[in-house]
Amino acid sequence: MEAETQNGKEVTMNPIADMAVNVILSAIFAFMKAQGLSEEEAKLKLMEKVDQIEKLPPLPMDI
């Protein structure tokens, strides 16, 4: 994480809090984007998006 300064003091974001905020914000904007579509457009875009998701390699994990 890059350090920012506030009043001359270094401030670093808690990485977990940063991740949680990203998750919440992305959810808000994803649903706002979906609201602007018609049902047919949403269905089409859903199919395209899931096709993209299927092609994503799984994230590395310790199993």
Partner 1 sequence: MRTIRSKVVMLILVVVILGVMLQGCATSKYKVMYGIADWYYTNHVTLQAQYDAGTDTQKAWLRVNVNPYMNMMQQAVIAMRAIDVGDNVKASACASEILRIGTGIKYDVAKIVTAIKAKDYDTLFAQSLALKSFIIQKLSERK
With contacts defined by CB under 8 A, how many residues of the chain interact with partner 1?
34
47 interacts with partner 1 by CB under 8 A: yes
Of the residues 4, 13, 14, 49, which one makes contact with partner 1 according to CB under 8 A: 49
21 interacts with partner 1 by CB under 8 A: no
Q: Closer to partner 1 at the Cβ: 8 or 58?
A: 58
Amino acid at 6: Q
Q: DSSP for 7-62?
A: TTEEE---HHHHHHHHHHHHHHHHHHHHHTS-HHHHHHHHHHHHHHHHHSPPPP--
Shortest distance in whole angstroms from residue 4 CB to partner 1: 17
